[in-house]
Amino acid sequence: MITLGALFNPRGGIHPAYHKDSTESLPVEAMPVPKSLYVALNQHLGAPSKPVVKKGDVVVRGQPLAEPAGYVSSWVHAPTSGVIRSVESRLTASGQLGPVVEIEADGRDEGLPCTSAPAEWRNLPARELVEMVLAGGVIGMGGAGFPTQVKLLPPQGKVIHTLIINGAECEPYLTADYRIMIEQSEKIRQGVEILHRILNATKVFIAVEDNKPAAISALEKAFRDFAGELAIVVVKTKYPQGAEKQLIYSCTRREVPSGGLPMDVGALVENVGTATAIVDAVVAHRPLVERIVTVTGDAIGQPKNVLARTGTSFRDLIAFCGGIRGNPGKVICGGPMMGVAQSSIDVGMNKTTSGLLLLSRAQIQQYSSMPCIGCGRCVQACPSGLLPCFLSENIEAENYGEAEALNVLDCIECGACAFECPAHRPLVQHMRMGKAKVLQRRRQREAKAGQKEKAS
Amino acid sequence: MEYILLIISAVLVNNFVLTQFLGICPFLGVSKDLATAAGMGGAVIFVMTLASAVTWGLQAFVLAPLHAEYLQTIAFILVIATFVQFVELVLKKTSPGLHKALGIYLPLITTNCAVLGVAVLNIKKEHNCLESITFGFGAALGFALALILFTGLREKIARSNPPQCFRGTAIALVTAGLLSLAFMGFAGLVKM
Amino acid sequence: MELLIQTLIIGGTGLVCAAILAVAARFLSVHEDPRVEAVGNLLPGINCGTCGFAGCGEYARDIVLHGAPINLCKPGGSEIAAKIGASIGVQVPTDERQVAIVLCKGDDGAVKRGVDYNGLLDCSAAQQIGGNGKPCRYGCMGLASCARSCPVGAIEIRKGLAIVHPDLCISCAKCVSVCPRKLIRMIPESRSIHVLCSSMDRGPDVRKVCSVGCIACTLCAKAVNNQGISMKNNLAVVDYSVPLSDEGVIAKCPQHTLEKRVGGKGVCA
Amino acid sequence: MTDSSAGWIVSPSPHTHSGDSVSRIMITVIVALVPSLVAGVIVFGWDTIRLTTICVATCVVAEYIVRTMMRRDIGITDWSAVVTGILLALNLPPTLPGWMAIVGSLSAIVVAKQLYGGIGYNLFNPALVGRCVLLISFPVAMTTWAVPAFVPNASAVDATTMATPLGAWKTAWASGNAPASFFETYPIRSLILGNRPGCVGETSVVALLLGGLILLWRRCISWHTPVLFIGTVAVFAGVLHQADPARNLPAAYHVFSGGIFLGAFFMATDMVTTPVTRSGMLIFGAGCGLITMIIRKWGGYPEGVSFSILIMNALTPLINRFTRPRTFGHKGREMEK
């Protein structure tokens, strides 16, 4: 094992105020199981899971609530024991309606009877290990929620030779991953060993930003006698350093091709939280039903790093952290750069919820309808090398052809442009709308081409 | 050197569009898209250069010896029309997309005062054959340059937000005026 | 003499030019279907794009070469469709005029806004982040994307709710595809009874957020014996394929979600 | 507390911001212009205050009236009209009659800015449009230069007016003679300090440089445009001087006289009318320098900064188009589709 300084510096990026000091030194606190839990069935990317329980069913912790509804999908498990109150369309943490299972906890928090002893996973074939990851409902816990088992099974012809463990945590305010790296560095090591066994990767990088020296030394200690070729990469602190494609560049100087996946450059990125969830799923047969959430912001009574069950409502989380202080301007699920502003706090948290942020009005961005003044700061900030200023103007003018030519589809919606924009234009919203419209136009074009082909 | 100065003069100092205000119609008509503008520029360079040569010949060998200078205008337009028709045929065959984009403005080069202006100015300034061709080429180059410059500006105007009554051609003309103001800076660059 | 010279000069120049062009035309000729031009001349030539093609010329080409429907030109209406049909020998389909309707009645008076919205004033942009703070997740957000998409200005936003004026509607259906909540439908003009709600929430949840939403009490469906109005996903749905004449059913609705509107002269909330 | 009365906000991400805004940038520019204004007052006295007041007042009032007429938001709180007013005033000769300054301000705000829809939409730098309209409409008034406060060589001065260094050089050579006692009348030291005839705010290189550094420090501008602008002028002038030292001024004279510093730091860096990419800014700066020197050397005007920036403004959309950065994950630069 070696520790390396920043290897390569991806383009663009910004330096927001990090505000991590209020929670970074607080140990993780386990939250008691609340009365009602709202477990969304679309926590992951891909097809929403198909419910296997119905109203009135009695479930125990770890029992499946829903099964995968496709290749890119995942299992969802009951976070505690209790009765199913309803299975219906409700508001989810993404801000959209989605299928949600409401569970009334019985307070006993019974788990499934342990059927097998802790597995001696070192003797199992990779295929079986992946099955266990799938059965544990493990998804990417950094935010996107991509089902992990899909990433672990690259299609024929793709070889993954580089494993990158993402401990950058570049979002301001959030310290969940930081606490995992400090408190569970041994578990991360075990997770890396399992991933190493599955993938047989030749190189392992653990990327941590240089503003987290304590995490770096904890990891150094845990990995000091690691057998394979492993490097802890101390990357430069800047946002969005922890974005998947940017991190791959930081470690390998390879660019994931436009529209491609990390596996196209032989890389796989897993969040530190995902690594620990894999350990639970493989070693203890314990599915993913809880995670660490940073509850913070200047409008929360008592900022904390909380270990909470999936489906815990934001209302209960806030109550556990000393309630709302003053008048919050926004309630955000996730970090301040890419999180989703919530319209209600009666929404359950997901496997991907890394933070709950309550910000006062003084702290939040106020968007305006002012025109672009062409300062070019967004161009300098954009990690994807786009021209957000012209993109937003073209999208505003519904000139989607030009937006496509300006590569709007390569936008990663990191928000660096809107953070810098002195005119306070809602650039990310422009991009998201532009992307949707461009994709829609593409589909229409393809359909039309198909029709013409048929006609001729 | 003299010919280079002639070109510089026609392109920058006495730019047909920006300081003499000739050829405004296609200047406003086909300046909405870079590729179309470049195509138009090419077409005008072709027509203007050749028309300069042929009209000079027509004047020197037919009209002047026969003392029929008063037929200048009509005879020149005949020549120009031929070249325009020829360009149109070529474009329709080789680049239907461009032909479609140029639309009515392509045949309108015929009545483009810039082309006739070059032919007439050549006679008036008593240019010889080579000078005529050079002047015609330079003027056309200036036209193409102004057109392409203006295309970029038009793209930005399309995203701008003028008051309702100034939208479209009105704001384009204001912009042409400002562009011509900027080109006043080149005044006196070449004394010809 | 002078006249002769004139004639000779102009005539001679013209002759030479004509000869050159004749030769050029021979080598550079392009064949095009004459019917395309014929149909193109029949179309209004205003390039409004409501037919779904990039201008009248493109539409004419598609009619002749790819057999596109001939009644798509809205400004031209049935008159031009008939002319086109005559010129290329195709029958004009005859249907009742379709008009757009917004299936939501929740204006700012009926739905209380709980959360403020700070972002683009565009429905699909707002929908991507879950809406604009109106608590009903199914109803009209009132950000006017449909009104902006309407080529004839037939959609008005009144108190945060989109309302179509059916007499102005040209049945282009652009608004239908623009609405991210799929609230707009095209219906035959003569249909007069509508359930102005699209919420699939349960009754108590609807009541919490909206005073005029459908609470799925099923009274209307029972009143017409499920003939023309049926219950689907906690919502009464009108079947517009058959005319529904019994107007007594309107009085049955406790929420006043059911409403009567005819041909633009109806009562708009 | 229930949701419906919580009254918080939903909005797209990101939810945090750098804290900068357009009005803050404009105020920074105004602050950065203060040293030049002070220098103008010292060198040209009361005329500086008179012109600045007239221009700023006209710009703000015109902006207010036009915005009201167009039924748009009154945008004057963004301070951009004030910036335009000050910049225009700094670009005028001190003795210019007040009504001409009003005409210039109106061309700047109404024609160059508000006709396009106001801040962010204009194609040309409003202050420079105002100046060039005046220069072409009133060539005599715009090239009559007041005598600065501290004249080093009184013999070169008639009663009330005096030529600018570039003007003196050009006029003399136009009649075929080298200007008499040029380097005594215009020592390099007074060019740098600003003690020379010229526009109100263009004379003091020290004050302009101070302002430029404030802008650089506050991240309102980047170094690319000014450095390339001044550098190109210096190199071009240096080469010319080497080729024919008698007929061409030394590079330092070209750089320190005329409006190079005012143009390079405050006009060629105007955000709206200049490229957004770094490489575009480099091209823009170099182009400005090149055209300025072409006009100075061969053109009819002794000074070409304003025209060169206007011409490069016209080129800006094309520069933006051809200097697109390479998109992450794409192979080459896609200049044009």
Q: Which residues of B touch D (CB under 8 A)?
A: 34, 148-149, 151-153, 155-157, 159-163, 166, 171, 174-175, 178-179, 181-190
Establish if C131 belongs to a structural domain. yes
SS3 breakdown of chain C: % helix, strand, coil, rounded to 5? 35, 15, 55
**Residue D2 CB coordination number (10 Å):** 9
- Interface touch A95/C131, C-beta < 8 Å: yes
Same domain, residue pair C102 and C83: no
Closest-CA distance, A207 to chain D, in angstroms, reads 20
> Which residue range is the domain that position D63 belongs to?
22-142
- Interface touch C30/B96, C-beta < 8 Å: yes
**Beta partners for A292?**
A307
Residues of chain C contacting A429 with CB distance shorter than 8 Å:
119-120, 125, 128-129
Closest-CA distance, B131 to chain C, in angstroms, reads 23
At which of C88, C107, C122 does a domain end?
A: C88
Residues of chain A contacting C133 with CB distance shorter than 8 Å:
343
- Pick from D13, D16, D117: which is nearest to A16 by CB? D16
* pLDDT the model gives residue D337: 37
Residues of chain D contacting B178 with CB distance shorter than 8 Å:
111-112, 123-124, 129, 310
The SS3 of residue C184 is: strand
Q: Residue A451: what residue type?
A: Q
Establish if D197 belongs to a structural domain. yes
Angle formed at CA C261 by CA C258 and CA C263, multiple of 5 degrees: 155
Residues of chain C contacting D1 with CB distance shorter than 8 Å:
none
Look at residues A269, A252, A240 and name the one whose alpha carbon lies nearest to residue A141.
A269
Closest-CA distance, D38 to chain C, in angstroms, reads 43
Q: What percent of chain A has pLDDT over 90?
A: 76
Which residue is closest to D15 within chain C, CA to CA?
C118
Q: Quick check: D134 and D99 in contact, CB under 8 A?
A: no
Establish if D77 belongs to a structural domain. yes
* pLDDT the model gives residue A76: 95
Angle formed at CA C32 by CA C26 and CA C34, multiple of 5 degrees: 115
Asked whether the predicted pLDDT for residue C94 surpasses 70, the reply is no
List, in order, residues 6 or more apart from A149 with CB less than 8 Å away.
Answer: A74, A130, A131, A133, A134, A138
Same domain, residue pair D126 and D203: no
Whose tokens are 């309702």? That residue is: B164
Same domain, residue pair C105 and C235: yes
Burial class (CB in 10 A: 0-12, 13-18, 19+), B82: buried
Same domain, residue pair D126 and D168: no
Establish if B82 touches chain C: CB-CB under 8 angstroms: yes
Which whole number is the average pLDDT over C3-11?
84
Q: Quick check: A79 and A289 in contact, CB under 8 A?
A: yes
Same domain, residue pair C108 and C212: yes
Establish if C269 belongs to a structural domain. no
Same domain, residue pair C147 and C215: yes
Same domain, residue pair D124 and D47: yes
Q: What is the DSSP letter of A330?
A: E
List, in order, residues 6 or more apart from C117 with CB less than 8 Å away.
Answer: C126, C131, C132, C133, D9, D10, D11
Asked whether the predicted pLDDT for residue C8 surpasses 90, the reply is no
Same domain, residue pair C83 and C113: no
Query: Contacts by A119-124 with C-beta closer than 8 Å and gap 24+?
Result: A119/A282, A119/A283, A119/A285, A121/A194, A121/A197, A121/A282, A121/A283, A122/A197
Same domain, residue pair C111 and C234: yes
Q: Which residues of C touch A (CB under 8 A)?
A: 66-67, 114-115, 118-122, 124-125, 128-131, 133, 135, 137, 200, 202
Asked whether the predicted pLDDT for residue C7 surpasses 60, the reply is yes
Same domain, residue pair C84 and C145: no
Q: Quick check: D167 and D302 in contact, CB under 8 A?
A: yes
How far apart are alpha carbons C212 and C104 in whole angstroms? 9
Q: What is the pLDDT of residues A163-184, one digit of tens each?
A: 999 999 999 999 999 999 999 9
Q: Which residue has the higher pLDDT, C94 or A182?
A: A182
Mutate to test the interface with D, among A313, A340, A343, A370 (most CBs of D within 10 A): A370
Same domain, residue pair D169 and D305: yes
Of the listed ranges A391-395, C55-59, C218-222, the least confidently predicted one is C55-59
Element (H, E) at A110: none
Which whole number is the average pLDDT over A75-102?
93
Beta-carbon-side half-sphere exposure of residue D130 (alpha carbons within 13 Å): 31
Q: What is the pLDDT of residues C127-149, one digit of tens each?
A: 999 888 888 989 999 999 999 99
- Pick from A97, A367, A433: which is nearest to C128 by CB? A433
List, in order, residues 6 or more apart from B77 with CB less than 8 Å away.
Answer: B110, B111, B116
- Pick from C5, C17, C30: which is nearest to B92 by CB? C30
- Interface touch D328/A255, C-beta < 8 Å: yes
Same domain, residue pair D201 and D317: yes
Q: Residue C243: what residue type?
A: P
pTM for this one?
Answer: 0.88
Which residue is closest to C145 within chain A, CA to CA?
A398
Residues of chain B contacting D311 with CB distance shorter than 8 Å:
182-183, 185
Angle formed at CA B16 by CA B10 and CA B22, multiple of 5 degrees: 160
Same domain, residue pair D215 and D126: no
Query: How many domains does chain C divide into?
Result: 2
Inter-helix orientation angle C77-88/C56-66, to 10°? 40
- Interface touch D329/A390, C-beta < 8 Å: no
Which whole number is the average pLDDT over C75-97?
77
Establish if D29 belongs to a structural domain. yes
Query: How many domains does chain D divide into?
Result: 2
For the domain that residue C77 is a member of, what is the CATH number?
A: 1.10.15.40
Same domain, residue pair D170 and D306: yes
- ipTM of the complex in this document: 0.86
Q: Residue C93: what residue type?
A: P
* pLDDT the model gives residue A112: 79
Same domain, residue pair D310 and D176: yes
Establish if C83 belongs to a structural domain. yes
Establish if D326 belongs to a structural domain. no
How far apart are alpha carbons A5 and D295 in whole angstroms? 52
In sequence order, which ranges of A323-426 are alpha helices (DSSP H)? 377-381, 388-396, 400-405, 416-420
Q: What is the pLDDT of residues C36-80, one digit of tens each?
A: 888 888 888 777 777 767 778 778 888 887 777 777 787 777 788
Copy the structure tokens of residue D150.
Answer: 């501290």
Q: What is the pLDDT of residues A239-291, one digit of tens each?
A: 999 999 999 999 999 999 998 999 999 999 999 999 999 999 998 888 999 99
Establish if C28 belongs to a structural domain. no
Which residue is closest to C62 within chain A, CA to CA?
A452
Same domain, residue pair D112 and D175: no
* pLDDT the model gives residue A436: 94
Which residue is closest to D303 within chain B, CA to CA?
B185
How far apart are alpha carbons D284 and D308 in whole angstroms? 10
Same domain, residue pair C229 and C147: yes
Tens-digit pLDDT string for chain D (337 aa): 333 445 789 999 899 999 899 999 999 999 999 999 999 999 998 999 999 999 999 999 999 999 999 888 877 778 999 999 999 999 999 999 999 999 999 999 999 999 999 899 999 999 999 999 999 999 999 988 888 877 655 555 556 788 888 888 888 888 878 787 888 888 888 888 888 889 998 989 999 999 999 999 998 999 999 999 999 999 999 999 999 888 889 999 999 988 999 999 999 999 999 999 999 999 999 999 999 999 998 888 888 899 999 999 999 999 999 999 999 988 765 444 3
- Interface touch A339/D18, C-beta < 8 Å: no
Establish if C153 belongs to a structural domain. yes
How far apart are alpha carbons D326 and A183 in whole angstroms? 41
Whether the bond between A34 and the residue before it is cis, its omega within 30 degrees of 0, is no
Which residue is closest to D295 within chain B, CA to CA?
B186
Establish if D182 touches chain B: CB-CB under 8 angstroms: no
> Residue B192 — very low, low, confident or very high, per pLDDT cuts 50/70/90?
low
* pLDDT the model gives residue C265: 42
Establish if C239 belongs to a structural domain. yes
* pLDDT the model gives residue C47: 72
Residues of chain B contacting D136 with CB distance shorter than 8 Å:
181, 184
Q: Residue A229: what residue type?
A: E
Copy the structure tokens of residue A122.
Answer: 């070192």
Same domain, residue pair C244 and C136: yes
How far apart are alpha carbons B186 and C9 in whole angstroms? 42
The SS3 of residue B107 is: helix
Asked whether the predicted pLDDT for residue A78 surpasses 90, the reply is yes
> Which residue range is the domain that position C168 belongs to?
98-260
Establish if C26 belongs to a structural domain. no
Asked whether the predicted pLDDT for residue A302 surpasses 70, the reply is yes
List, in order, residues 6 or more apart from C54 with CB less than 8 Å away.
Answer: none
- Interface touch D7/C115, C-beta < 8 Å: yes
Of the listed ranges A81-90, B52-61, C189-198, C259-268, the least confidently predicted one is C259-268
Q: Which chains touch A (3 or more CB pairs under 8 A)?
A: B, C, D
Q: Residue C18: what residue type?
A: A
- Pick from A10, A257, A330: which is nearest to D15 by CB? A330
- Interface touch B183/D311, C-beta < 8 Å: yes
Element (H, E) at A307: strand A304-309
Establish if C177 belongs to a structural domain. yes
Same domain, residue pair D224 and D282: yes
Copy the structure tokens of residue D128.
Answer: 């420079």
> Residue A118 — very low, low, confident or very high, per pLDDT cuts 50/70/90?
low
Copy the structure tokens of residue D243.
Answer: 């080729």
Establish if A327 touches chain C: CB-CB under 8 angstroms: no
Same domain, residue pair D192 and D285: yes
Establish if D110 belongs to a structural domain. yes
The CA radius of gyration of chain B, in Å to the nearest whole number, is: 17
The CA radius of gyration of chain A, in Å to the nearest whole number, is: 22
In sequence order, which ranges of D264-304 are alpha helices (DSSP H)? 278-298
* pLDDT the model gives residue D333: 52
Which residue is closest to C114 within chain A, CA to CA?
A343
From edge to edge, which strands make up the β-sheet containing A50-51? A50-51, A64-67, A76-77
A440-449 in b/e form (b: 16+ CB < 10 A) is eeeeeeeeee
Same domain, residue pair D135 and D178: no
